[in-house]
Structure 1
Amino acid sequence: MKVKEIQQFLQQENIDVAFITTPENVNYITGFNSDPHERLLGVAVFKEAAPFIICPQMEVPDAKRASGWEDVVGHLDTQNAMDILADAIRARVSDVKSIAIEKLHLNVARYEQLQERFVKASFPRLDDKLNYMRVIKSEDELVKLREAAKLADFAVQVGCDNIAEGKTELDVLNAIETAVKNKGYDMSFSTMVLTGKNSASPHGVPGHNKIQKGDFVLFDLGVLYEGYCSDITRTVSFGEPTDKQIEIYETVLKANESAIAAVKPTVKAKDIDKVARDIITNAGFGDYFPHRLGHGLGISVHEFPDISSVNEMALEENMVFTIEPGIYKGDVTGVRIEDDVVVTKDGVEVLTKFPKQLTILPVK
């Protein structure tokens, strides 16, 4: 079905070949999930000819099994993979005038190598088409995203259960990842557990910082379920928080819940961002909210669309994205509250369910 949609696009745009190289998109189109490292991985789709996967020779059996495709072209480490790719394309289209590529992914060296082998060809952009294909989730995809969200809720609970005075961020992080592994799943990105003033770093690095009474502890994590990602952030208090910590938390919570309530079809992405940003700005913390409100979510943890102040895109049913306002005040604390949401026919479904009212954990 996905191949047919790309073929229709090629026919409409009069493009000979689409060459897809992002591992996530190769997986999305074919069902074959691979990290090729420095080796060439891709799928070539044609207006009429049969598509093929190109991958390292050692992965050919895996590619055939995962995709159900017989047409898989392998290359050895001792061979020039771009020559093999070019020969396979020419075997299907003798006079190639255009090759659509992922310009945000294909590196300069490989782009130049394609140009050398197809000197008469133009190279239109394929990224936007693939983004729009992935942005509207099928019912099967939504089922997987819901399960991934449940696992994220579980992981946050494990984190809360393992907080204790004197434990380090890495101690709690390891407990979370071990529990998820024991369930048979992997994290969808590098887990963050940040305590005290380290929580005021939006992309802080967990380390040997010890949890102390009165700290806010921020969890940002996700779990992978059958190729689909979750992404949740919760901030909890270890012991009684100060009035300033509570003020910051309640402001972020209001921004999160108000933005979620504004989600429905036809609303623009930038307007959702504005709802949250206005609340934080009006509370006097505008300078401490330095990032967009959210991002798309699916087979990648960060994907299209961008939920930001400059995105004019209208929301549509079955889009899935995060809503994650935050305030990061270095002399006090950092707070971020993030949920995964799906646009419904007339509103929104929140996939992540872990409680958002401030959790105050007893000191132990």
Structure 2
Amino acid sequence: MSPITSPERGFPTAEYKQRAARAQTMMKASGLSALVLTTEPEVRYFTGYLTRFWESPTRPWFLIVPASGDPVAVIPSIGAALMGKTWITDIRTWSAPDLVDDGVSLLADTLLEICGDGGSIGMPSGHETHVRMPYDDITRLKALVSKNAITGDAGIMRALRMVKSELEIAKIRYACQISGRAFARVGEIAGAGVPLDQVFRRFQGLCLEEGADWVPYLAGGAGPDGYADVISPATPDPLLPGDILMLDTGLVWDGYFCDFDRNFAIGPPSDAAKAAQARLMEAVQAGADAARPGARASDIFHAMDKIVTGGAGGSEAGRLGHGLGMQLTEWPSFIAGDDTVLEEGMVLTLEPGIDVAPGRILVHEEDIVITAGAPEFLSPRASADLPIL
């Protein structure tokens, strides 16, 4: 994969207006007068409001997408200056935190102004969504807008965010390039005798050196011929000859994630480890071969599961990949029960895993985008041969 030029940061206003227009078309079909959004990716999806300040749980943030017209931000006053740099012009603020009324009255008044009486106000309500405000405030909001129904969003936000624009895909592609360059340098930081936690810290440094804005997610493991799981924190145990080291990174560039992993052998790998790596590559290819518009997420699962378990129906990991974008994991999930239909523009991970020995697994992950034909691999594809450190 040849290097690509860094995309422009941010998006033109037209991109956000198109997102709002698509949402409003779907809202009309579902009879919704407004959407109320409260989480970082939802607010950013329509506004471009990018800040690490969401790490603080203290203040609530609200965005209203009306049935017509531009979105309205109802946010703490500390965020007004940054929101003012986005395309949003209607920005209503209060001084937060307010232990008596933390923006609820202002939000209710704005909703009544927009919806009047008898409207339906949608909030994301399906799997992998949540409402970022206290339950007591939700109860109070319902009472203040009691002539309107607060209901689910009919899956609108999930449907919108599953399919990425070319500008979004370019950012994910670039994040994958950054991570690929960091993975190519693992030999500089890892080898026999190096503590695993030191490898984790240094790999995050490599990601930043190569251009990541930040590295919110890094997981992995190491052990003889494989590892016990893929989510445990790193330990100070040194890498040993015969170990397989895995690093799985979700770095961010301009608000978009990559998410893929790589396995490395510490010294010459065993035949079992080599065979497992080759089988994982075969499973990834099977998943890619099945990843076409009109296929279902479950089809991709079964294509990979046939290779790694013989069609047993999955493993303890629960799924073999997922959506990717503004969040490390998004809808859909590659499981037997997910019948989401794939569309052009969906960015997905293929993540099969295989048992090498009792209590030892290998996992491999690549990032792809669905196109009219074969999917494009956004991550630099790994070799079927384990790289040796």
Q: TM-score, normalised by structure 2?
A: 0.86
Letter in 1 for 2:277: Y
Preserved contact between residue 60 and residue 102 of structure 2 (Cα < 8 Å): no
The residue aligned with 2:384 is 357
Q: TM-score, normalised by structure 1?
A: 0.91
Preserved contact between residue 279 and residue 308 of structure 2 (Cα < 8 Å): yes
1:246-325 alignment, distance < 5 Å: 246-282=274-310, 290-325=317-352
Report SS of the residue matched to 2:68: coil
Preserved contact between residue 221 and residue 247 of structure 2 (Cα < 8 Å): yes
User: Aligned in 2, Cα 1:156/1:93: closer, same or farther, shift over 3 Å?
Assistant: same
Q: In the alignment, does 2:197 pair up with 1:170?
A: yes
Quick one: which of 139, 148, 153 aligns to 2:175?
A: 148
Report SS of the residue matched to 2:185: helix
The residue aligned with 1:64 is 84
Q: Using the TM superposition, give the Cα deviation of residue 96 of structure 1 relative to its aligned residue in structure 2, in angstroms.
A: 4.8
User: Aligned in 2, Cα 1:235/1:186: closer, same or farther, shift over 3 Å?
Assistant: same
Q: Using the TM superposition, give the Cα deviation of residue 342 of structure 1 relative to its aligned residue in structure 2, in angstroms.
A: 0.7
The residue aligned with 1:105 is 130
Corresponding pairs, count: 360
Report SS of the residue matched to 2:376: strand
Preserved contact between residue 270 and residue 310 of structure 1 (Cα < 8 Å): yes
The residue aligned with 1:239 is 267
User: Aligned in 2, Cα 1:262/1:11: closer, same or farther, shift over 3 Å?
Assistant: closer
User: Aligned in 2, Cα 1:323/1:62: closer, same or farther, shift over 3 Å?
Assistant: same
Letter in 2 for 1:15: L
Q: In the alignment, does 2:152 pair up with 1:125?
A: yes
Preserved contact between residue 178 and residue 210 of structure 2 (Cα < 8 Å): no
User: Aligned in 2, Cα 1:204/1:328: closer, same or farther, shift over 3 Å?
Assistant: farther
CA distance in 1, matches of 2:215, 2:317: 24
Preserved contact between residue 16 and residue 96 of structure 1 (Cα < 8 Å): no
Report SS of the residue matched to 1:222: strand
% identical equivalent positions: 22
Q: In the alignment, does 2:242 pair up with 1:214?
A: yes
Letter in 1 for 2:233: V
Give runs of ≥4 in structure 1 deviating > 4 Å: 285-289, 328-332
Q: In the alignment, does 2:56 pair up with 1:42?
A: no
- 1:213-245 deviations in Å (ceiling 9; x for gaps): 110001100221211110011111111122222
Choose 249-258 or 266-275, whichever is displaced more.
249-258
Q: Using the TM superposition, give the Cα deviation of residue 94 of structure 1 relative to its aligned residue in structure 2, in angstroms.
A: 3.1
Cα RMSD of the aligned pairs, angstroms, is 2.2
- 1:251-291 deviations in Å (ceiling 9; x for gaps): 222212221122111122111110111111239x9775532
The residue aligned with 2:258 is 230
Preserved contact between residue 192 and residue 239 of structure 2 (Cα < 8 Å): yes
Unaligned runs of 5+ in 1: none
Q: Using the TM superposition, give the Cα deviation of residue 188 of structure 1 relative to its aligned residue in structure 2, in angstroms.
A: 4.8
CA distance in 2, matches of 1:216, 1:270: 30
